[in-house]
Structure formats: C-alpha cells, structure tokens
Amino acid sequence: MRVDEVREIAKRMGLVPGRMSKRDLIRKIQIVEGNFDCFGTARDATCDQQGCLWRKECFTQARKES
C-alpha cells in the first residue's frame, strides 16, 4: 500500500498524519484499531494477528529491516 493511501486511512480514523513515516503511521493506526503496534516486527514471519490489514506488507517490511 502506498503511503498516501495509508495517510487517507489515518485521516478517516481521525489521526493527523503530518510527516510521519509510513511505518510509524501504520503503527499509530494499529493502536487506534485496538491492535498491537507491531508493523514490521515479524522477523521470523510469525504473527497471530490474522485479521490485520497490514499483515502481508508487515512480513515484507520485517525482512527489509533485518
């Protein structure tokens, strides 16, 4: 998902995205959704958050950061 799409989701949720990075913005959205703010941390490709909107991209981001 592109950062502008993430910003739109954040705005619809009442967040003010400002100049946050995509990763930080997704983590803020996760908190508002009542989830763990864990985007990009699934380094071993294991995650129990099956319904997370960011799940697939999270695994990709985690591989990039490891």
User: Per-residue pLDDT tens for 2-58?
Assistant: 999 999 999 999 999 999 999 999 999 999 988 889 999 987 878 888 888 898 899
The better pLDDT of the pair 43, 61 is held by: 61
In this prediction the pTM is 0.85
Would you state the pLDDT for residue 64? 86
Distance (Å, whole) CA 65 – CA 30: 19
Alpha helices in 1-65 (DSSP H): 3-12, 22-32, 55-65
| pLDDT tier for residue 65 given thresholds of 50, 70 and 90 | confident
